[in-house]
Amino acid sequence: MPLSIRPLTPAIGGEVTGIDITKPLKPEEVAAIEAGMDKYAVLVFPGQNLTDEQQMAFTVNFGAIEDARGGNVTKPQDKRLVTGMNDVSNLGKDGKPLARDSRQRLFNIGNMLWHSDSSFRPIPAKYSLLSARVVNKKGGNTEFAHMGAAYEALDDDTKREIEDLVCEHSLMYSRGSLGFLDYTDEEKAMFKPVRQRLVRTHPVTGRKSLYLSSHAGAILGMPMPDARMLLNDLKEHATQPRFVYVHEWKLYDLVIWDNRQTMHRVRRYDDTQPRDMRRTTVAGSAPTVAQAAAE
Closest by CA to 281, choosing from 49, 63, 53, 111, is 63
Query: At its nearest, how many Å lie between Fe ion and the CB of residue 275?
Result: 14
User: Nearest approach, Cβ of 86 to Fe ion (angstroms)?
Assistant: 9
Of 248, 254, 52, the C-alpha closest to 136 is 248
Cα 66 from Cα 53, distance rounded (Å)? 15
Size of the site for Fe ion (CB under 5 A): 1
By CB under 5 A, name the one of 117, 168, 253, 258 that touches Fe ion: 117
Instruction: Compare residues 201 and 259 and give the one whose CB is closer to Fe ion.
Output: 259
- Report the C-alpha gap between 276 and 273 in whole angstroms: 10
- Among residues 142 and 201, whose Cβ is nearest to Fe ion? 142
The least distance separating Fe ion from the CB of residue 277, rounded to whole angstroms, comes to 10
Rounded CA separation 93/96 (Å): 8
- Angle at CA of residue 261, ends 228 and 278, nearest 5°: 95
Q: Choose the stretch contacting Fe ion; rule: CB under 5 A; options: 22-30, 39-47, 116-124, 228-236.
A: 116-124
How far is CA 187 from each of CA 6, 73, 148, 280, rounded to the nearest angstrom?
Answer: 43, 8, 33, 23
In the complex, least distance from residue 117 CB atom to Fe ion, rounded to whole angstroms? 4
| Comparison of 154 and 170: residue with beta carbon closer to Fe ion | 170
Smallest distance, Å, CB 116 to Fe ion? 8
Does residue 66 belong to the site contacting Fe ion (CB under 5 A)?
Answer: no
* Among the residue ranges 96-104, 115-123, 163-171, 240-248, the one whose residues contact Fe ion (CB under 5 A): 115-123
Residue number with CB closer to Fe ion (117 or 271): 117
Q: Which residue is nearest to Fe ion (CB)?
A: 117
29, 204, 215, 263 from 239: Cα distances, Å: 31, 24, 16, 9
Handedness of CA 190, 196, 198, 204 (dihedral sign): negative
Identify whether the C-beta of residue 58 lies closer than 8 Å to the C-beta of residue 270.
no
Q: Least distance in Å: CB of 115 to Fe ion? A: 6
Stretch near Fe ion under the rule CB under 5 A, chosen from 29-37, 110-118, 177-185, 239-247:
110-118
End-to-end CA distance of the chain: 40
- Contact positions vs Fe ion (CB under 5 A): 117
